[in-house]
């Protein structure tokens, strides 16, 4: 079992001390607050939280929990230091990592005299890039070398107040980010008793996932509340509505729609969103989350156009014009908006869309094509390579199996991928660019 020190004995640190001890590890807590240290030293928690009192006393009674106000003692008696100090918002919104850096500096000073390999684990919520800052800080202060004498691991916590002990011991997954194999192996050993998936990622991914998770949780709360407000005005049971919503685990409560790519379109999403916003407006309800969705979608199209202008070529090709692959439906197509904007900037344009070509050949949907995009039909090519061979920039809005080979065949053509091709081997090529990745 591991010897672990926990820096910071507040909410996250206290729960961590108790839970790590329950997993069989020997834990020494550190804090500058003597009162917190005294409580932990007696097997008492520093917070009010479900199940934590018994957890702490159990760990104390079997000799796995103690605490100190000495950094030297905490580091000397452990092989791993979990840093659990606060990172509050600064006035401008950024996270203040000064407390974290203070703890890291103290650990770095103590590591000067330590000969064994030491792991520093960042549990605090921190901005992406903090792992590198911590590693550099420790190197500078300790005189030791990252990867040789010590390693830094990003290991964000996902604890709900009131459910923290249960969340620690029964996580949906455990995220660890580090460049050091020894450190990753040790983290696997620490969390192995939890019997949950342990996911290794880059430190920056580990650092940003907490922001993403909590921002989405905030979005869910406000989305649910805005739906509730609309239902209230219409005398509809909002809980019955949302219970029904949550039963759909193919689209609603699923990973579908969550992969970054291009803007949405089609007949359903824009129409129903506008209809719901109208219901809210007609009952004098402000629903800022719902009303901002379309604006965000439009801004995403403008980001693509801005990138095209930054690339700076005048000869542009687009692969995919319908609102999504597998259909000839042009309604509210973001690709059409982008194509029209590119023409408006004075660029030449060539377009390939397999399903529009099929529609023309079979003479299906001809009326809609001639009514909606008569100005774009002259730019349609019969095969995708004609678009690539005759342009300097190719924008990919739908996955096409021929594209990866064409990226390799035409190294002088810049490919801007808006959907992420399934062949990720092309992503390292110099003429490939992912729009959101």
Question: Could you list the active site residues?
Answer: 268
The set of residues, in sequence order, having a beta carbon less than 8 Å from that of 3 and lying 6+ positions away, is 25, 26, 28, 77, 78, 79, 80
Q: What is the DSSP string of 8-58?
A: --SHHHHHHHHHHHHTT-EEEEE-S-HHHHHHHHTT--SS--TTHHHHHHH
> Scanning the structure block, which residue is given the tokens 């290991």?
155
3-state secondary structure of 122: strand
3-state secondary structure of 428: helix
Question: Cα separations (Å) of 4 from 36, 125, 295?
Answer: 18, 20, 49
Q: What is the rounded CA–CA span in Å between residue 417 and residue 393? A: 11
What b/e readout covers 147-164, taking b as 16+ CB neighbours within 10 angstroms? bebbbbbbbbbbbeeeeb
Q: What is the rounded CA–CA span in Å between residue 95 and residue 85? A: 12
Q: What is the rounded CA–CA span in Å between residue 168 and residue 49? A: 13
H helix intervals, 312-400: 334-344, 354-362, 366-372, 384-389
Residue pair 85/120 in contact (Cβ under 8 Å)? The answer is: no
Q: What is the rounded CA–CA span in Å between residue 43 and residue 18? A: 9
Tell me the β-bridge partners of 83. 7, 122
């Amino acid at each position: 079992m591991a010897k672990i020190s926990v820096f910071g004995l507040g909410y996250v640190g206290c729960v961590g001390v108790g839970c790590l001890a329950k997993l069989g590890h020997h834990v020494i807590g550190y804090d500058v607050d003597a009162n917190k240290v005294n409580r932990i030293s007696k097997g008492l928690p520093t917070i009010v939280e479900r199940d934590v009192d018994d957890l702490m006393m159990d760990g104390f009674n079997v000799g796995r929990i103690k605490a100190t106000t000495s950094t030297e003692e905490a580091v000397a008696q452990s092989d791993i230091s979990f840093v659990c100090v606060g990172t509050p918002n600064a006035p401008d919104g950024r996270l203040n990592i000064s407390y974290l850096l203070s703890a890291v500096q103290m650990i770095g000073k103590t590591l000067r005299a330590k000969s064994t390999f030491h792991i520093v684990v960042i549990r605090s919520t921190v901005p992406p890039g903090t792992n590198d800052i911590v590693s550099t800080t420790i190197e500078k202060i300790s005189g030791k070398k990252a990867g040789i004498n010590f390693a830094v691991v990003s290991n964000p916590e996902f604890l709900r107040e009131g459910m923290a002990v249960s969340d620690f011991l029964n996580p949906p997954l455990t995220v660890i980010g580090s460049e050091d194999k020894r450190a990753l192996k040790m983290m696997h050993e620490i969390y192995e008793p939890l019997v949950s998936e342990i996911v290794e990622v880059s430190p920056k991914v580990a650092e940003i996932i907490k922001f993403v998770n909590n921002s989405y949780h905030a979005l869910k709360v406000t989305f649910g509340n805005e739906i509730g407000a609309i239902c209230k005005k219409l005398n509809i049971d909002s809980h019955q509505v949302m219970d029904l919503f949550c039963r759909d685990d193919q689209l609603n409560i699923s990973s579908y729609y969550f992969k970054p790519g291009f803007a949405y379109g089609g007949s359903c999403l824009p129409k129903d969103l506008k209809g719901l916003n109208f219901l809210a407006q007609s009952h004098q309800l402000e629903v800022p989350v719902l009303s901002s969705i379309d604006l965000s979608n439009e801004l995403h199209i403008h980001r693509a156009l801005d990138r095209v202008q930054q690339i700076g070529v005048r000869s542009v090709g687009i692969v995919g014009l319908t609102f999504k692959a597998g259909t000839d439906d042009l309604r509210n197509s973001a690709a059409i908006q982008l194509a029209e904007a590119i023409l408006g900037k004075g660029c030449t344009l060539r377009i390939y869309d397999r399903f529009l070509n099929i529609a023309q050949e079979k003479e299906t949907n001809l009326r809609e094509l001639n009514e909606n995009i008569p100005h774009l039909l002259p730019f349609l090519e019969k095969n995708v390579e004609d678009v690539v061979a005759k342009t300097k920039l190719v924008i990919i809005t739908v996955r096409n199996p021929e594209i990866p080979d064409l990226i390799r065949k035409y190294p002088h053509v810049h490919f801007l991928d808006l959907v992420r091709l399934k062949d990720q081997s092309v992503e390292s090529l110099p003429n490939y660019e992912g729009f959101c990745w």
